[in-house]
Amino acid sequence: MVKNTLLQVWPIPAFDDNYLWCIHDGESALIVDPGDAAPVLQYLEQNQLTLTGILITHHHADHTGGIVTLLNALGSTIPVYGPAAIDIPGRTHALMEGDKVEIAAPRLSLEVYEVPGHTLSHIAYFANMQANVVEPMLFCGDTLFASGCGRLFEGTPTQMSQSLEKFIALPKNTLVYCTHEYTLSNIRFALAVEPNNANLITWAETAKALRDQHQPTLPTTIGQELQVNPFMRCDQPAVIEAALEVSGEKSLPTPAHVLAVIRAWKDRF
């Protein structure tokens, strides 16, 4: 491949609905959350890419299961970045809130956010405007999905609400690289929360058309999620009203209270 001036980000499908994101410049590549090594190795070989780093957002097996196999196949000195708060086999660089990850090839600078909720030790990686990045990029693991958010396996609604607030504060044109193709089911729930949301109705049609053509619905953007994602809209009257009706509560004083109601509603939807 010819080396590109701009970085490319490509979804490598794995399992039933995972995307293992490959960030590359035509020569060197990073892999985000390689739950399965086989499709990664195949993609790297087909595109003549050299793996220079692995980014891990959280410890679940469908995000970490391929690390050791990749290291054994391609070189044990490849750096593996991941959350400091939990042990991940193969991790070489333990990261915390505010850390910076500087990658030489492909050239990329990433800021680390701690985003507990889905898991207690979950982190996300944010690349702001750089010479080879057209738009900001967020690699958010299972914290944020297109039109949804991660199930609260370990964290609390308050933690998830605080984590999503960090994303809400990002530039609206930030490209969001979620790690699962959950969009259509998330949209069905979002429409139950906000059946009259015109942006959501339009997005439902667009997303269905993409999936009918076997195309990813990702990446999304922060701006898009602020319009269609109920978990990013917990301060909006329509979402608050729906949560009040479902919960029977007289008051839900904070976005975290609203998120707690709609996340529990989503779990049984």
User: So which residues are the catalytic ones?
Assistant: 58, 60, 62-63, 118, 142, 180
The residue whose two tokens read 């089911």 is 185
CA atoms within 13 A on the CB side of 80: 26
The residue whose two tokens read 């793996």 is 51
CA distance 228 to 191: 9
How far apart, in Å, are the Cα atoms of 80 and each of 89, 95, 144, 225?
9, 10, 22, 30
How far apart, in Å, are the Cα atoms of 123 and each of 45, 99, 229?
29, 11, 20
Whole-angstrom Cα Rg for the chain:
18
CA distance 39 to 56: 17
Q: Which has the closest alpha carbon to 142: 43, 28, 61?
A: 61
CA distance 119 to 167: 17
In the DSSP assignment, the letter for residue 133 is: B
Cβ-contact 95, 112 below 8 angstroms: yes
> In this structure, what are the phi and psi dihedrals at residue 176, rounded to the nearest 5 degrees?
-110, 115
CA distance 143 to 140: 6
